[in-house]
Amino acid sequence: MRRALLLACTTLALVATTAVPAGAAARGVRAWDVAGNARITISGHGYGHGHGMSQYGAEGAARQGLTARQIAEFYYPGTAWGTGGGRVSVQLTGDTTPQDLVVLARPGLTLRDTAVPGRTALPNNGASQWRVATGPRGVTRVSYLATRWRSWATLKGPGEFYAGGAPITLVTPSGERAYRGRLRTAVTTSGTRVTVNDLNLESYLRGVVPLEIPALWSPAAVQAQAVAARTYAAYERAHPRSSAYQICDTSSCQVYGGYDAEHPAANAAVDATRRQVLTSGGEPAFTQFGSSSGGWTSAGSVSYLPARQDPYDGWSGNPVHDWKVRLSDAALEKAWPAIGDLTRIAVTSRDGNGAWGGRVRSITLTGSAGRVVVSGDTFRSVLGLRSTWLTFAVSASAG
């Protein structure tokens, strides 16, 4: 549930604002005419979808003296406190050759054939790496690297490496990264092979929290992040992404970097909130979170993700509470070429919360060749904007 860096912007161009009825303006419905070459300034609030906890808001709340429990209860009103544990399985997207699972040799490394019970200790035979590879007929072979690759065994099913609680270093095309728990190959229902890290939920959080929030922020904020991340993982586990794994390691789920990402301060926050989760109806809550609410959270898909004013997000250290981007009209014409020469921008729907009428739901772009209607989310995504809570100003190009 991370944020992408904002795209760099260019110089721009012109126009006069079109008057609209007062009632429509109050609802945030407004249009801007674009004449010739124009400079378009987009002003906005916040970073991300706005659902649930604002991470900058959590830090702002902590600086005002709120505890981790108070922060969590503010951003997820109506949830209850519970406990959660067990294991979680994570797809490791950085291993782009999952048909070939390679780890560094180390003392205590064992191998399990997932089709049969038990594990086998791998010998101390001078190997620098161990590999489980699946051939074109689905046959899984185990080999080791000692000056060259040498065959060692054939498995009946996918292979799983385990190191007795110590981290295992995965070798990928982009480099090496250590993980707690077990590493294995798995096959999805569509037949796609993936690399999966299976580990204890608390160990998993150690590789998540410092990548989702600065570990050296106020302890209460980092602890609130640990609770949100633990709950989110428990929710995803109950609604798995695949038959082969439950959660991914990217911002499509929550960012996970394994053992190498761990930080002592984040580990302390995980330990301080051990097993604590938020629940709704007795089940783990869908605890979405994002960088910055901009001062008003947006309504999510469940009752405990309401739209509400956020008094904690706007502290002086939040660089994305307010933002501006300057574009040329040509940038919009390039993104939506069907419109031809852009002549008008109209915000036709907002969510009604906060300045300008709140977050944009729908925009109509009109040009010499036609018009397109795009959602606020699509507009944000295509242009690389920080959020959908935005408005426009159009002026003549200086050039």
**What pLDDT shows up at residue 70?**
98
**What pLDDT shows up at residue 17?**
33
Based on the fold, state whether residues 81 and 101 are members of the same structural domain: no
356-367 average pLDDT score: 97
Q: How many Cβ atoms are within 10 Å of 25's Cβ, its own excluded?
A: 13
Write the pLDDT tens digit of every residue in 78-123. 999 999 999 999 999 999 887 789 999 999 999 999 889 999 999 9
Higher pLDDT among residues 29 and 271, named by residue: 271
Based on the fold, state whether residues 232 and 83 are members of the same structural domain: yes
Q: How many Cβ atoms are within 10 Å of 192's Cβ, its own excluded?
A: 12
Instruction: Write down the mean pLDDT value for the chain.
Output: 91
**What pLDDT shows up at residue 27?**
60
Domain count, the chain: 3
Residue 233: inside a domain, yes or no? yes
Specify the residue for token string 């783990």: 284
Based on the fold, state whether residues 185 and 217 are members of the same structural domain: no
Q: Provide the percentage of residues in the chain whose pLDDT is more than 90.
A: 83
Domain that holds residue 356: 17-46+321-396
**What pLDDT shows up at residue 99?**
79
**What pLDDT shows up at residue 136?**
74
Q: Provide the percentage of residues in the chain whose pLDDT is more than 70.
A: 93
Specify the residue for token string 């709704």: 280
Based on the fold, state whether residues 177 and 124 are members of the same structural domain: yes
Residue 398's pLDDT band (cuts 50, 70, 90): low
Based on the fold, state whether residues 152 and 235 are members of the same structural domain: no
Based on the fold, state whether residues 103 and 128 are members of the same structural domain: yes
Based on the fold, state whether residues 147 and 212 are members of the same structural domain: no
Residue 145's pLDDT band (cuts 50, 70, 90): very high
Question: Which range, of 15-19, 29-33, 215-219, averages the lowest pLDDT?
Answer: 15-19
- Which string of DSSP letters, residue by residue, matches 55-114? HHHHHHHHHTT--HHHHHHHHSTT-EEEE--SEEEEE-TT-S-TTEEEEE--TT-EEEET
Tokens for 279, please give them: 């629940």
Based on the fold, state whether residues 186 and 215 are members of the same structural domain: no
**What pLDDT shows up at residue 98?**
77
Contact 76, 312 (CB under 8 A): no
**What pLDDT shows up at residue 125?**
94
Query: How many Å is the Cα radius of gyration of the chain?
Result: 25
End-of-domain residue from the set 199, 216, 247 = 199
Residue 209: inside a domain, yes or no? yes
Residue 338: inside a domain, yes or no? yes
Write the pLDDT tens digit of every residue in 209-266. 999 999 999 999 999 999 999 999 999 999 999 999 999 999 999 999 999 999 999 9
Residue 57: inside a domain, yes or no? no
Based on the fold, state whether residues 235 and 363 are members of the same structural domain: no
**Is the per-residue pLDDT at 321 higher than 60?**
yes
**What pLDDT shows up at residue 2?**
43
Based on the fold, state whether residues 98 and 182 are members of the same structural domain: yes
End-of-domain residue from the set 199, 226, 244 = 199
18-39 average pLDDT score: 68
**What pLDDT shows up at residue 373?**
98
Question: Which range, of 133-147, 198-212, 292-306, 316-330, averages the lowest pLDDT?
Answer: 133-147
**What pLDDT shows up at residue 316?**
97
**What pLDDT shows up at residue 134?**
84
Higher pLDDT among residues 45 and 139, named by residue: 45
Report CA torsion sign: 289, 254, 244, 258. negative
Q: Please tell me which of 5-14, 30-39, 88-97, 265-274 the model is most confident about, judged by mean pLDDT.
A: 265-274
